[in-house]
Amino acid sequence: MAQLSRRSFLSISAAAAGLGFAATSANASTKVPAKWDETYDVVVVGSGLAGMSAAVEATAAGASCVIIEKMAIVGGNSNINAGAMAVTGTPMQQKKGIKDSPELLAEDMLREGLGLGDPVQVKLVAEKSLEAWEWTRKTLGVEWNEQTVVAEGGHSVARGCITLSGTGSTIIMKGIEKAKQQGAKVMTRTYVEDVIREEGGRVLGLKVRTGYKFPDASSGTVRYIRAAKAVVLAHGGFGADVAFRVAHDPKLTDRFQTTNQPGATGELWRVASSIGCNVIQADWIQCGPWASPDEAGFGLAVGFAQDCCAMYGLWVNTTTGKRFVNELANRKVRADAIINLNNKEQQCIAIADSNAVEVSIRESRPGHLEKALEKGCVFKFDSLAAIAEKFKIPMDVLEAEVKAYNEDVRKKAQTDAMGRLLQVGARPLENGPWYVSRLAPKVHHCMGGIRIDENCAALDVLTDKPIPGLFAAGEATGGTHGAVRLGTCSITECIVHGRIAGQRAAKA
Amino acid sequence: MAQLSRRSFLSISAAAAGLGFAATSANASTKVPAKWDETYDVVVVGSGLAGMSAAVEATAAGASCVIIEKMAIVGGNSNINAGAMAVTGTPMQQKKGIKDSPELLAEDMLREGLGLGDPVQVKLVAEKSLEAWEWTRKTLGVEWNEQTVVAEGGHSVARGCITLSGTGSTIIMKGIEKAKQQGAKVMTRTYVEDVIREEGGRVLGLKVRTGYKFPDASSGTVRYIRAAKAVVLAHGGFGADVAFRVAHDPKLTDRFQTTNQPGATGELWRVASSIGCNVIQADWIQCGPWASPDEAGFGLAVGFAQDCCAMYGLWVNTTTGKRFVNELANRKVRADAIINLNNKEQQCIAIADSNAVEVSIRESRPGHLEKALEKGCVFKFDSLAAIAEKFKIPMDVLEAEVKAYNEDVRKKAQTDAMGRLLQVGARPLENGPWYVSRLAPKVHHCMGGIRIDENCAALDVLTDKPIPGLFAAGEATGGTHGAVRLGTCSITECIVHGRIAGQRAAKA
C-alpha cells in the first residue's frame, strides 16, 4: 500500500529523463538531504541501558557507531533506576535454594500483563536474562550484590539482582565506557528532529540538532547523520510529556507528576509513528502508586510508603477514613484507585506506626526515614488522632480500620480485610510516634511502543514486516510487558533488546 | 518535524528552476498521481452509519460527494446492528418518568471506560444524542418504537431507543437513499488502497480499486479519486482481521471468531497510521462474552446465554464445575475471564433450567429458544447430571454451585455468591428440561482508532493539530469509549460524528 506507485515513478522518471533532471534514486522524499554531514554504520538514538547495550554490541562486531543523546549527560531514566534486574538461574538463587526458570518468569510476565504481552517478546526477554546478566559482569565489569536476591510484586519467586552500588547508573557508566573503548562516539545535547526514511523503504539516517538546549526544539544546528547499516531507536518512554500522554490516557493530566527525568518526552514516539512504525499499546502507562506530591521525581517517600506502609501499615482515603485498595495489589490497580480518587478531589495517605517502621525500613534502609522527614515528604505525629486532625479524617472510621487490621494481625489471619497477604513479622499498629506520607501517583513507565520482531527489527504498520535499516529496543518498544511492567524487568528488557538490536544492526 | 525541510525544498526548487523541471507544487510525494480520474468535494470512505451520516450532511450543504464501499452491499457492521441507540431526553423516557441528562450519559461512559475516554469526545456524543435521534426521524424518516426504552449494562438509566424494525439496517437504507436523493454517488466493490497526503500537508484524495473482489487486494482497477474539499474516513473497526488484532492484543488469536461482517479488516487502520494519523487505544478490543463457537457471526445463542442464563441461570467452567465470573459484570471482565480460560484449554458454558427460560426469553423472545436448538447452538438435556456427563463436569461441584444459588434465590438475597444482583422474578434452578450453550467470546467492537478533535478533524501524530482535508467518524475513531463501549452507544457515536464530519468536510 505504501509502495512507490509504479505510475508515479514512471511519470517522474519520464519527466526527469526528458528534461534532463538528475534523479539520483527512485526515492522522492523531500526529507532526504542533498548531502549527509556524517556517516556511521550504526546510529543509536538514546544512551540509556538499551542504547548503551546496542552500542557495545555494534562496536564489538566491528561497526562504526555513534550514540545520540539529547540531554547534557548520558543515561536517561536508566541513571535514576534502582539497579534491580530480574534474572533466572543466578548463583544467588541457587545459594538460597530458589527454583526458577525462564518459563516461570515468562508466565509471571504474561499473567500480570493480562494477556496483552506478546508471547514471542516475553519469551525472548525471559530466555536471555541470565546471559544478559553474565554479560554485564564479564563484558562490562559491573559488580552485583552476591548475597541478595529480591522479590518484587507480581514475581512468583525472588529473582531480582541488585548492583553493588544500588543504582542503574553504574551499568550505564561501565557500558558507555566500554562502547567508547571500542570506538563508539557519544554526542550529547543532540536532538533528533526526524528519522529519514525512503517512502515505504529503508531508513537512511537522522536529521539532528547539535548543541541543542533542552527543551527548545529550535535550538542548535541542523545536521544530517547517515546510518550506513542501521538506526537503533532506544529513546525510552514519554512519562514527562503531558500532551502526548494525555493523547493516549486522558486522565493523566498535569495534575500528576512523573518519576522520570525531564527528557522523557514523546517526540520520537511521534516521529516513529509518522514514518510507518506500528506504535502499539501506548495507552498502557504505568504510574508509581507510592509516590509523594511533596517532592519531585522518584523521591524518598517511596521507600516509606511501599516498603513500610504497603507491607506493614495502611493506605487510607482521608475523605472517608477507610482503606481503599489492597496495598500490595499490582501498581496498575493501586495507581488507578488513587488517580480516580484524586480526580474527585479526594486525598490518599500512607500510615505507619513505630512498630511498622521497626520491622521494615529501620534496619534495611538505615537513616532513610530521617532523611525523608527532613526533606518534608514524610510527616511525624504523636498519635493516630493527630493524623486524623491534620488531614480532616473521620477519626471513628479510621480507628475502626486500624482496629480491624490489628485483630487480623493478632489472630495471624492469612489475609486482611482488603485481601492483602499479612506479612511475616507484622505487628499491631499501636505505638507512636506515627508517620504519614501523602500519595499521588507519578507516571513511571510506558509499557507500549514500537512493535518489533524477535530480531528487534521495527515492524512496518502497513505490512507487519521489518522496516529495512531500523531496529528498536527498551522502553521505546511495546509488546513485552502488556498491561503491567513488573519491577526489575526493565533492566532485563533493555539489555536483552539492546544487545540483539546492536548485533543485528551491525550486520544489516 | 514532518514539515517540508526548507533545505530540501530550496534544493529541489533550484534544480527544477535551473533544469526547466516543471514542479507543479512543493509536494514531492511519489504517491500523488499525475492525473486524477474523478473529483468530488467530499469523499466518504465507508457506508455504515458514520459514513452515511457524513454523506447526507455533506450533500445537504451543497457539496458533491461520493461514498466508497469495498463490499458488494452498503452498510458494513451497521447492517447487522440491533438498532438500539442511546439517547437522553426522549419522549419515551419522559413518558416513563425516567430522569436523564447528557451529563449522566457522559458520566456513565467515562466511568465504565475506566477514565480512558477523552472527556471532550464523550461530552460531544452525549450532548448531541437527542439532536441526532431527532435527525434520524425528521430528516431520514426512520421509525422508532415509541413504547420502549431499554437499559443496557453500564447505563445508570434506561435510555436505549429501538428502531421499529429492530435492526440498524433500516437507518442505513433510509440514510443512503436520502444521500442519493441529494446527489451522492455510491461506489460499492471499491477498495481504498491508499490515502494520498502531501508530505506533512493536506490529504488530496484516494487511490482505489474499482470492481474489487473481497478479499483480493490485487483485484479491480486502480483509479485516483480527488477530494476537492476533504476525505471522511468512516471505515469502521478491524474485528475480523486476525493479523492486525493480534498485533495489538496478542491473546485474540484465530481461536476466537468475530460478530463482525467479514469486511471489518484493518487495512485503513494501517494506512491512517502510515500517513500521520495518531491511532490511539487500538488495543482495547471488545469481545462479546455471550457468543457461541457453534455458529458464525453474532448468532442466536447470545439471546439465550445473555438474556436467560446471565440473568437467571449460571455460567460455569466445565473443568472445575464452578462459576468463574459475575455473569452480569461488564463485557470486558466477562470476556477476559473466558478468553484466559479458553487459552488454558478450559471450556465455559451457560446453563438454564426451564424455570429460567420461563421468566426470561419464553415470552420476550417467542420462538427464539426453538430456533437456537434447531440451529445447534443451544443444547437440551433432561437433567443437570446429563449436562455434567456430556461436558465431563465434576457433578458434585456443579450441584453445590446450583444449590448455593438456589438458596440465595429462596432467601431473596440481594446478590449471589459471585456478587451478581439477583433479578426480580428469579426462581430456583430445579426443573428440567435444562439448556446449555457453549461460550467462546467473539471480537465485537474496536474502542480505539484515529484521534480526532471536536470537529471530527483527524489529528496529526506529529503536531496534535488537524490534518488539512481529513476528517474521521464512528468506530474508525478512538477516544469516545475508553476501556468499554457501552451497548447502544455505537449508533449514537456514529451519527453524531458522521454528521459533524460531513458538515465540516463540506466547508473545508
Please spell the DSSP secondary structure of A82-99, one letter per residue. --EEE-SS-HHHHHTT--
Phi, psi of B269, rounded to the nearest 5 degrees = -65, -40
Cross-chain Cβ contact B116/A283 below 8 Å? yes
- Locate B64 and state its grid cell: 458533491
Query: Has residue B15 been placed in a domain?
Result: no
Distance, in angstroms, between A457 CA and closest chain B CA? 15
| One domain for residues A53 and A194 | yes
Query: Has residue A2 been placed in a domain?
Result: no
Domains: count for chain B? 2
Across the interface, which of B4, B29, B119 has its CB nearest the CB of A199? B29
| One domain for residues A391 and A496 | no
Considering Cα of B15, then B21, then B22, then B24, what sign does the dihedral take?
negative
pLDDT band of A88, cuts 50, 70, 90: very high
Would you say A215 and A261 are in contact if contact means Cβ atoms under 8 Å apart?
Answer: no
Instruction: Give the CATH number, domain containing residue A409.
Output: 3.90.700.10
Which residue in A159, A171, A168, A162 sits closest to A102, CA to CA? Answer: A159
| One domain for residues A319 and A217 | no
Distance, in angstroms, between A399 CA and closest chain B CA? 28
Q: Which residues of B touch A37 (CB under 8 A)?
A: none
Task: Name the residue with higher pLDDT: A410 or B30.
Answer: A410
Query: Has residue A163 been placed in a domain?
Result: yes
The average pLDDT across B243-262 equals 95
Distance, in angstroms, between A430 CA and closest chain B CA? 35
| One domain for residues B227 and B295 | no
| One domain for residues B134 and B63 | yes
pLDDT band of A2, cuts 50, 70, 90: very low
Query: Has residue B21 been placed in a domain?
Result: no
Across the interface, which of A22, A193, A284 has its CB nearest the CB of B1? A193
Distance, in angstroms, between B269 CA and closest chain A CA? 9
Q: Which residues of B touch A119 (CB under 8 A)?
A: 250
Distance, in Å, from the CA atom of B253 to the CA atom of B243, rounded to the nearest integer, reads 8
Across the interface, which of A5, A19, A33 has its CB nearest the CB of B19? A19
Please report the DSSP string for B462-483 in residue order: TTSSEEEEEEE-GGGEESSSTT
Burial class (CB in 10 A: 0-12, 13-18, 19+), B139: middle
Q: Which of A42-51, A340-349, B123-132 has the lowest mean pLDDT?
A: A340-349
Last residue of a domain, one of B393, B417, B440: B440
DSSP letter (8 states) at residue B216: B
The reported pLDDT for the residue numbered A31 is 87
pLDDT at position A355 over 80: yes
Across the interface, which of B5, B26, B273 has its CB nearest the CB of A278? B273
Burial class (CB in 10 A: 0-12, 13-18, 19+), A394: middle
Share of chain A above pLDDT 90, in %: 83
The reported pLDDT for the residue numbered A330 is 79
The reported pLDDT for the residue numbered B200 is 84
Distance, in Å, from the CA atom of B34 to the CA atom of B222, rounded to the nearest integer, reads 13
Cross-chain Cβ contact A5/B31 below 8 Å? yes
- Which residue in chain B has the smallest CA separation from A337? B114
Last residue of a domain, one of B389, B416, B440: B440
pLDDT at position B278 over 50: yes
pLDDT at position A327 over 90: yes
Catalytic residues of B: 331
**Type of residue numbered B32:** V
How many interface pairs between A and B have CB atoms less than 8 angstroms apart? 164
Query: Has residue A412 been placed in a domain?
Result: yes
Distance, in angstroms, between A371 CA and closest chain B CA? 36
User: Which of A4, A24, A31 has the most B C-beta neighbours within 10 Å, making it the best mutation to test the interface with B?
Assistant: A31
| One domain for residues A93 and A227 | yes
Query: Has residue B82 been placed in a domain?
Result: yes
Q: Which residues of A touch B222 (CB under 8 A)?
A: 7
Query: Has residue B487 been placed in a domain?
Result: yes
Please report the DSSP string for A333-354 in residue order: HHHHHHHHHHTTT--EEEEE-H
Cross-chain Cβ contact A116/B270 below 8 Å? no
The reported pLDDT for the residue numbered B345 is 94
Which residue in B443, B221, B212, B19 sits closest to A7, CA to CA? Answer: B221
Catalytic residues of A: 331
| One domain for residues A363 and A467 | no
Query: Has residue B370 been placed in a domain?
Result: yes
pLDDT band of B331, cuts 50, 70, 90: confident
The pLDDT tens digits for A452-470 are 999 999 999 999 999 999 9
Would you say A76 and A257 are in contact if contact means Cβ atoms under 8 Å apart?
Answer: no
ipTM score: 0.89
Rank A240-254, B3-17, B149-163 by mean pLDDT and report only the highest. A240-254
| One domain for residues A159 and A42 | yes
| One domain for residues B282 and B322 | no
The pLDDT tens digits for A37-86 are 999 999 999 999 999 999 999 999 999 999 999 999 999 999 888 899 99
Residue B508 sits in which domain range?
26-286+446-508
Q: Which residues of A touch B270 (CB under 8 A)?
A: 1, 461-462
Cross-chain Cβ contact A114/B336 below 8 Å? yes
| One domain for residues B267 and B386 | no
Q: Which residues of B touch A117 (CB under 8 A)?
A: 250
